[in-house]
Amino acid sequence: MKSTELVKQLELYSNAILAFVVAQSLVFSFTFGTNAEFGCVVIAEKPLALGLLAHFVLSTVLAVVAITYLGRALQRLSQENQALVRLLFLGKCIVVVMFTVIPILVLLWFGLLAGDHAGRCTPKAKSAVYIHDSVSQPNAS
């Protein structure tokens, strides 16, 4: 494999890892905030919240390790641009950490460290959220 093809492949892998982490964090946070039943299950089931928290922490560590490894491989391949490659991959690691902090804080604040939110998860409260959703999105079924 030519070194230019290898550089493109390594960059593609690092971008895919970054995109996965960003999408996973945003989708989880959006779903937690907009789906009352999902939010109530996470709040009510502390083991689930702990498992999700562990998943996001482990995903962060693994993504940072993988991106760092790919960055070092690219630094070895491009001798003349080592400083630029190092900064680029440091930026990618920072973005990974910034985006995974969002669901981690959501889980801590609203799931594990929150007080009793039983009132928010009663059938009456859920129906109020359902009514609000159906009014704000009348064509959704």
Average pLDDT of the residues in 22-45: 89
- Cβ-based neighbours of 104, under 8 Å, separated by 6 or more: 53, 56, 57, 60
Q: What percent of the chain has pLDDT over 90?
A: 42
Lowest mean pLDDT among 55-59, 82-86, 114-118: 114-118
Q: What dihedral angle (degrees, nearest 10) is formed by the CA atoms of 42, 47, 53, 55?
A: -110
Separation of alpha carbons 96 and 140, rounded Å: 33
Lowest mean pLDDT among 10-14, 32-36, 112-116: 112-116
Average pLDDT of the residues in 43-70: 92
Chain centroid offset of residue 22 CA: 5
Lowest mean pLDDT among 77-86, 98-107, 118-127: 118-127
**Which tokens in the block code for residue 12?**
């593609």
119 pLDDT exceeds 70?
A: no
Q: Under a CB-based contact definition with an 8 Å cutoff, are residues 10 and 70 in contact?
A: yes
